Structure 1
Amino acid sequence: MSGGLECYEVSSVDRAEVLRYLGYSGQPMTQELEARIDGEVARCLSVCQPRGVWRTFEVAGREVREDGAPVVRLGGTALELVGSSIQKHLEGAVAVGVMAVTVGMGVERELRRLSLTDPVAQVVFDAAATTAVERAADACEASLVADARERGLYTNFRFSPGYGDLPMETQPTLLAALDAQRRLGITLAPKSLLMTPTKSVTAVVGMFGEPQASSHASCAGCLCRDFCRMRGAGTPCWKR
């Protein structure tokens, strides 16, 4: 079992992704609106503090519960991954990387302030913050890919609670397995299980002895590319 607590440098985000979260579909924009979007993106980047924590666990077993739901059990933790979607995602996996990232309470406070003072700016800032936390998730996933590489394993893509039939009820045990409340300050609402800071992401990544359909065939188009330590060393994850 391995893991780490990390800080990430997210100095830019993909403007097209920000616009996508805003629901943009090619409508004409005024120069004033363009400038406002750029301003809120810059404001978001100035206050966000991207951090993440991750651990890798061996797959300890697979079984089917009495209610018929498949379960993937991980060694050394109480975390169990339940559902057909995650079973398919981790089919053949020998280990699983578990991760949580956040861009911090500074972003949370700014979102609350803008909701009271400037709702339009709040919507744009929210889209920028969503894009920023996904970049932080890319950085954390890059660490899991590097850990898999050191083990001689291949990875697939990250999969979060709430995707498919992997229940949100996974969140408390997942965060506990990472000690994410103490290390990142992430807490959960008792009923909804939504995270605070709201701009936080949890996910799991499968690790396999053989390349998967989603294993990277090159560095081109890889979301983790900007944060990859192996590429700089000339030993990318797909080059064995």
Structure 2
Amino acid sequence: MNKQVIRHYLRAKTLMDAHSEQLIDECIQEVKQIAQFKVVYQLYCLSHQPLMLEEVKLLLDSKDLAFYLQECKQCMIIACTLGVLIDRQMKYYEHLDMSKAVVFDAVSNAYLEECCDAYQKTLGFESYTFRLAPGYGDIPLELNKSFASLLEMNKKLGVSFNDAGLLIPMKSMIGIVGIGQKVKKTCLSCLRKESCELRRGGQRCYVKD
């Protein structure tokens, strides 16, 4: 696993103290051992102005999506999870050792992203955008439930929503990926580069490859 990504989740720019680095190593081994990665995806054709999934006439009311998918005729809706065992272990550490719980959470987030990235690379698409999740920028969070329904997440992955609208298991993710245009996550490719508070402070919301 990329420890730089994990440190990014922990808001650390460089190597951490010896104890924290040891916790990262321990959590990497544990997460890899108990995670049950599952994934499902579906391809859809895109129509523009307004932007929507053609087959199901689902409107994608988002300037960010319109910007990043403007050259794409097709997209992939993808969802994945690390399973319930990660959640159980997370709750265990929250009662036993909050320091380790924080690191375990960061490692789990990084591992979920890494597994999904690796899976996408096996699908054989020559060019595609980075994964855009509901809640990112102006992408409506309500699209999570629409995408989950299209993918039958509950049936295929065992992922549902709690009363607050959060995914259960917690280490689960839904995203949309444009097919046919290569767009990597960089500050220059971001629609909000001129108003980004992180960028002004010399930080990024992502980790360079």
Q: Same fold (TM over 0.5)?
A: yes
- How far the C-alpha of 1:52 sits from its partner, in A, is 0.7
Does the 8 A contact of 2:128 with 2:183 survive in 1?
no
Question: Partners in 1 of 2:63 and 2:20 — Cα distance?
Answer: 44
Q: 2:22 aligns with which of 30, 35, 40?
A: 35
- How far the C-alpha of 1:79 sits from its partner, in A, is 3.5
Alignment correspondent of 1:79:
58
Question: Structure with the greater relative contact order (CA < 8 A, sep ≥ 6): 1 or 2?
Answer: 2
Q: Does 1:200 align with 2:200?
A: no
| Paired residue secondary structure (1:34) | helix
- How far the C-alpha of 1:164 sits from its partner, in A, is 1.4
Does the 8 A contact of 1:105 with 1:197 survive in 2?
yes
Alignment correspondent of 2:3:
15
- How far the C-alpha of 1:214 sits from its partner, in A, is 4.3
Question: Partners in 2 of 1:99 and 1:163 — Cα distance?
Answer: 15
Question: Partners in 2 of 1:214 and 1:37 — Cα distance?
Answer: 27
- With over 3 angstroms needed to count, the CA separation of the structure-2 counterparts of 1:161 and 1:143, relative to structure 1, is farther
Question: Partners in 2 of 1:206 and 1:27 — Cα distance?
Answer: 34
- How far the C-alpha of 1:204 sits from its partner, in A, is 0.9
> How many aligned positions are there?
188
- With over 3 angstroms needed to count, the CA separation of the structure-2 counterparts of 1:42 and 1:95, relative to structure 1, is same
Q: 1:62 aligns with which of 48, 53, 57?
A: 48
Query: How do 1:1-240 residues align onto structure 2 when only pairs under 5 Å count?
Result: 13-26=1-14, 29-30=17-18, 32-59=19-46, 61-63=47-49, 71-77=50-56, 79-144=58-123, 146=124, 148-149=125-126, 154-190=127-163, 192-208=164-180, 211-212=181-182, 214=184
| Paired residue secondary structure (2:139) | coil
| Paired residue secondary structure (1:168) | coil
- How far the C-alpha of 1:185 sits from its partner, in A, is 1.1
Does the 8 A contact of 1:156 with 1:214 survive in 2?
yes
Larger Rg: 1
Instruction: Please list the CA deviations of residues 110-131 of structure 1 after superposition, one character each: whole Å capped at 9, or x if unmatched.
Output: 0111111111111111111011
- How far the C-alpha of 1:143 sits from its partner, in A, is 4.2
Does the 8 A contact of 1:51 with 1:136 survive in 2?
no
Decide which structure has greater strand share: 1
Sequence identity (%): 23
- How far the C-alpha of 1:75 sits from its partner, in A, is 2.7
- How far the C-alpha of 1:106 sits from its partner, in A, is 0.7
- With over 3 angstroms needed to count, the CA separation of the structure-2 counterparts of 1:181 and 1:28, relative to structure 1, is closer
Indicate the RMSD between aligned Cα atoms, in angstroms: 2.4
Question: Partners in 1 of 2:146 and 2:107 — Cα distance?
Answer: 29
Question: Partners in 2 of 1:43 and 1:58 — Cα distance?
Answer: 39
Does the 8 A contact of 2:36 with 2:83 survive in 1?
yes
Does the 8 A contact of 1:168 with 1:193 survive in 2?
no
- Deviation beyond 6 Å, 4+ runs, structure 1: none
